[in-house]
Structure formats: C-alpha cells, structure tokens
Amino acid sequence: MEYEPDAAGQESYILCADCGTVISSANGSGLCVGCLRNSVDITDGIPKESVVNFCKGCERFLSPPNTWVACQPESRELLAICLKKIAKPLLKVRLIDAQFIWTEPHSRRIKLKITIQKEVLANTVLQQTFVLTLVVQTGQCPACTRLAAKNTWKASVQVRQKVTHKRTFLFLEQLILKHNAHKDCTNINEKRDGLDFFYTERNNAIKMVEFLASVVPVRVKGSEQLISQDTHNGTANYKFTYSVEIVPICKDDLVCIPKNLARQWGNISQLTICSRVGNTLHLLDPLTLQQTDVTAPVYWRQPFESLAQTSDLVEFVVLDIEPTGVQRGRWVLADAQITRASGSGQAADADGMGDDGIYHVRTHLGAILQPGDTVLGYDLTHTNFNNDAFEGIDPHRIPHVILVKKTYPNRRKKNRPRNWKLKSIAKEAEEDTTVGRGALGRRGGVDQKNVERDYELFLRDLEEDKEMRAAVNLYRADDAQDMEDDDGDVAMGGQKGSGMRGGKRRGGAAAQAAAAMEVEDGNIADEDDDGTEEEDFPEIELDELLENFDDMAIEGEELN
C-alpha cells in the first residue's frame, strides 16, 4: 500500500518489503534500516582480530612497516597503530569514530569500538559499529636484539691520548655526565691509552665525536668494515669505527714550541706552559704573559709534544716576591726569590744563583703568591730533555725555574675528608653495577696504581681551579660515609664506590690513606706535619654543590 502526498506537498511513505514497517518513499531499497542490516553487512572484509607487536625491552609498539614507537595506554599514538592494522579495508568505507574499550592490562588484549559508514544503494547510507580485538605479541625490536647479543654493535668511537696519565679522561668523564652525552652508548671498554664507546646506530657515534671535538682538541679518522651484502637488492651492512686522538698536551704541562711556529704565533717565546685546555690549547709565556691559542687543525699540521708533565714538578718555597706592575687578565707578572723545599731533591748549585741555593725567577703568579708559600715548578737546571726544539734555544735565554701553580702541603697532610663527591659510571653494562666500578679502572683494571694517583690529583685540580670546577657537576656528601668513600667518588644511581684495591674493600681510614699516598713527584705525602694550615686553601662552598637526588641515575663513563 502506498501513501500519496496530499495537496500541501507532504512526503509520502511506503511499507518495508520484508517487515511492513512504514518508511519514507525516498528509500530506494524499499527496506527499513533493520532489514537492510540483515541483508547487507558493510563490515564484510574488515578483520575483527589482528596482532600488534610490543618490545618488552624498550616498551615500544611496532608501527607498520618498520617503525617502533613509544606509546602510552589508550593514547592517540596507540590508536593510530591499531587502525593501521586494518588500513586497507578501511579505505572502502568511511571511518566515523574509534575508541578504546577497557580491558584487563594483563590480558594482552586491546579492543577498539569502531563506527563506519558506507553507501549501499543510491541515496542509502548505512552506519554500523563493530569491535576490533588486537592481541599484543611480545618480542624484541632490532635495537634491543642487538643489545641482548654481546659484542654486537654498529658503530664505535675509540678515544685515545698518548700520555702517561689518565687525568684528561677523568675530566672528560665528568663533562660527558654533565651533558648526558653517553645516553645512547651501549657499552664502554677501557683500553691502555683510552676508552672505547659502542653504539647501535651510526648517528649516535657521530654525535659523540662532535661532542668530543667541542670540548677538547682532537683529530678524527673514520673507517668502515663490510659485514654482509645482499646482491639482489644492492644493500650492504657495515660497521663503522671512529678513531679520536686527543692532543697529547695537558694543563700545566711545559711545552717547547718549534722556532718557526713561535714566530708565526706572534713571535711568542718557545718555552710556554699550557694554562688551559678547551677546544683549543691555551699556551702562556710565564715571563712576559704573552698568550696564544692553538686550534686542533693548526696543531696537527705540525704536532709537538710536552717537554715536561706535572709528574716532573718540584716543590719550592717562596722567600720574597715583588710584582712588576704588568698584568694581563688574572695573571700578574712578579719577580720572586725561591728555594727548594726540604726533601724535594738536591740543593741548588751556585751557577749564577748564589751560594745559598736561592733562585731568582720571574713568574706569572704574582697575584696569589706570598712569602712563605709553597709553589710547584719545573727545575730546568737539573733536567736533560731529548727535544730538538729545546736544544736549539740559546742556553742564556732558558730560565733556571719555571713556576706553574701554588700548592698547599700543610693542609693536604691533614687528610681531611672532602664534603663533596663526583658521579661515576659502571665500567661495562654486563658487569655487576653494585660494585660501582669506574670507567678508568680505579678499583681494578688497566694501570690501577697510576690511575688512583691521577684521580687524587684530578680532585685537587677541581678544588684549586674554579674555572675548571664550573665545567663539572659536584654533589654534596650527605653523610660521613660519603665523605670517606673513595676520596669523594661514588657510583651512579646512588650506589657507593666499593673502593676495591687488590681485591679487598677499603674502609674510611684506608681511603684517606690512599688519598694521601706518596707519588713520584712528591706532591702527595702521608707523613705528619706540624706546620700551620694555609689560610687561603681553596674551600668549595656549599652553593657550588648539587643535591644528590636518588632519581638522578645517569648511565655512561668518565673522562678528563
């Protein structure tokens, strides 16, 4: 039966062909919505179940085709990944709505309520809702697979410095920790002359090389090794190695510049000391306060080595000092009378220095030295150097002593624990980090004895040099145990360093004794001294220290 529109133009109605329900005559199918759904299923061909891959190591989901994305539960990112599983069938319909249905978190099921529309007949659009169930399959992404396999890496950075100490690497370690430059590193190995950093991606290794070049003068060489090759599609798998060589000159080293270079660099004196090492070498003439900066490319064009290092420093006592009035920056030129400290070696000769063993020298430390102070310097009258540039200098232009820095022997011998500490990193990822191993073998490893000596000298450099101290993070020692623990060093993640030496744990007293151990140059001594403490000893203020929060766990390794 059909209802015709009346004279007023009202819409006409018809009866459903199946159930007889009154419907609009504009419905071209002649069926009501219920009967139309029974006869036509617009979800046909759309999967109702699928699988989504989840990495248990890094907690990321696989976004087709090969991208792993970190997603929060019921987030928009996770919803997009789930809809990609039925992306092709959804192209034939119109997606109206999609939302999550709550499921038990441990069920490994993700359910979506999806609403779609489709035009089934002329002027007839059908809307339908269905539930998509996705099973979460756990596994490992390629990055975590490489991490799980030992000694598997794609790129490595080999950092080397051909010197007899580890102070540069001790400082570099602290710079890496401060800037979190080690976050992508998978493993770190200690070598005789440096450290090896391993990465799963080549870009991460390049970032580390760029970071090292920004903080120290280096020379970089790259190489690659073919691992596998697919001749069908023309792809290959390579391992990349970057060799980073640090300039073998460190802070406070005595440097003899070749004559031709000295003329090019402002006609500076050939005998200089290295006042600071950044991304350039800062060389200072202590007799005239003339300075020059040497960049890495300029240095490697005609390299030269240190004439003497800090292990060759000798203690002197200042008898008298008189500033000359010449000043440049923080350096003040002064004339000083000095003599060897007791126990620092043979007495001075009478070769132009007086029969009483007194040296008359010019120094750049006029702003900080006072009569009675102890200062470290290089004694050039009792030293032979196998260096062509030094042998070419006129002997009358070579000073008897070059002073380098002030020292505090009386305060050092008190063996007072420090009120600050440094962060350190586990030596290797697969080792037990509860031991708190350092990257440079301070508790067992390559050249342990010398590294412990270098570490103590490094801590002293931090105390005495405010500019150097500002470049690293110092942490407040919360209790007496922290202050006694391995000369102020603790392991990352709030763990204390074990202080291992010879396979046994050092207690607080033993740690202090190790901090005051005697080294070859006589700068560290453990005998008692009745002398008064120096009033200008460089104490580190509390406002320079950071709180040691337990959640500040950092993953990586050490350098200087």
Structure token pair of residue 84: 């990609």
Q: How far apart are CA 524 and CA 111, in angstroms?
A: 69
- How is residue 316 written in tokens? 């002197």
Class of residue 559 by CB neighbours under 10 A (exposed 0-12, middle 13-18, buried 19+): buried
- Report d(CA 247, CA 543) in Å as an integer: 34
pLDDT at 348 (0 to 100): 43
The set of residues, in sequence order, having a beta carbon less than 8 Å from that of 465 and lying 6+ positions away, is none
For residue 446, the model assigns a pLDDT of 53
Work out whether strand 420-424 and strand 489-491 pair parallel, antiparallel, or are unpaired.
parallel
555 is written with which tokens? 């993953």
Where would I find the beta strands (DSSP E) of 415-480?
420-424, 475-476
Task: Note whether 1 and 15 are within 8 A (CB).
Answer: yes
Residue 97's alpha-carbon distances to 71, 84, 109, 120, in angstroms, are 20, 15, 20, 19
| Mean model confidence pLDDT for the chain | 77
pLDDT tens profile 506-540: 333 333 333 444 444 444 444 444 556 666 677 77
Could you tell me if 220 and 244 are in contact, meaning their C-beta atoms sit under 8 angstroms apart?
yes
The structure tokens listed for 463 are 């105390």
- Residue 222: its pLDDT value, please? 94
pLDDT of residue 122: 65
For residue range 291-341, what is the model confidence (pLDDT) as tens digits?
Answer: 999 999 999 999 998 999 888 899 999 999 999 988 988 899 999 999 988
Interior angle at CA 391, CA 385 and CA 393, nearest 5: 125
Element (H, E) at 244: strand 235-246
d(C-alpha 450, C-alpha 447), whole Å: 6
**Alpha-carbon distance 138 to 57, whole Å?**
10
What pLDDT is attached to residue 529? 45
In whole angstroms, give the CA distance from residue 164 to residue 519.
14
Neighbours of 270 (CB within 10 A): 20
* Closest by CA position to 328, among listed 361, 366, 362, 294: 366
Burial of 103 (0-12, 13-18, 19+ CB in 10 A): middle
Tokens of 74: 């019921």
DSSP class of residue 496 equals B
Query: 124-139 burial by CB neighbour count: b if 16+ within 10 A, else e?
Result: bebebeeebebeeeee
Consecutive 10-residue averages of pLDDT for the chain (560 residues): 50 72 66 72 85 89 88 90 88 89 88 87 78 91 75 86 85 88 83 86 93 93 88 86 94 92 91 91 93 93 91 91 89 92 56 63 91 92 86 89 88 71 60 43 55 82 84 76 46 33 33 40 44 68 66 38
521, 311 Cβ separation under 8 angstroms = yes
pLDDT value of residue 522: 43
Burial of 369 (0-12, 13-18, 19+ CB in 10 A): buried
Task: Work out the angle between the directed axes of helices 508-515 and 448-464 (0-180°, nearest 10).
Answer: 80
Query: What's the pLDDT at 334?
Result: 93
> Pick from 151, 156, 111, 153: which is nearest to 130 by CA?
111
- The pLDDT of residue 173: 86
Sheet of 187-191, strands arranged across: 187-191, 194-199, 155-160, 235-246, 218-230
**pLDDT at residue 17, rounded to an integer:** 65
Instruction: Give the number of C-alpha atoms closer than 13 A to the C-alpha of residue 428, restricted to the C-beta side.
Output: 13
- How far apart CA 423 and CA 494 sit, in angstroms, is 9
Q: Are strands 13-15 and 22-24 parallel, antiparallel or unpaired?
A: antiparallel
Q: Which two tokens stand for residue 414?
A: 């008190």
Cα of first residue to Cα of last residue in the chain, in angstroms, is 96
The pLDDT score that the predictor gives to residue 235 is 85
Three-class HEC string of 268-298: CCCEEEEEEECCEEEEECCCCCCEEEEEHHH
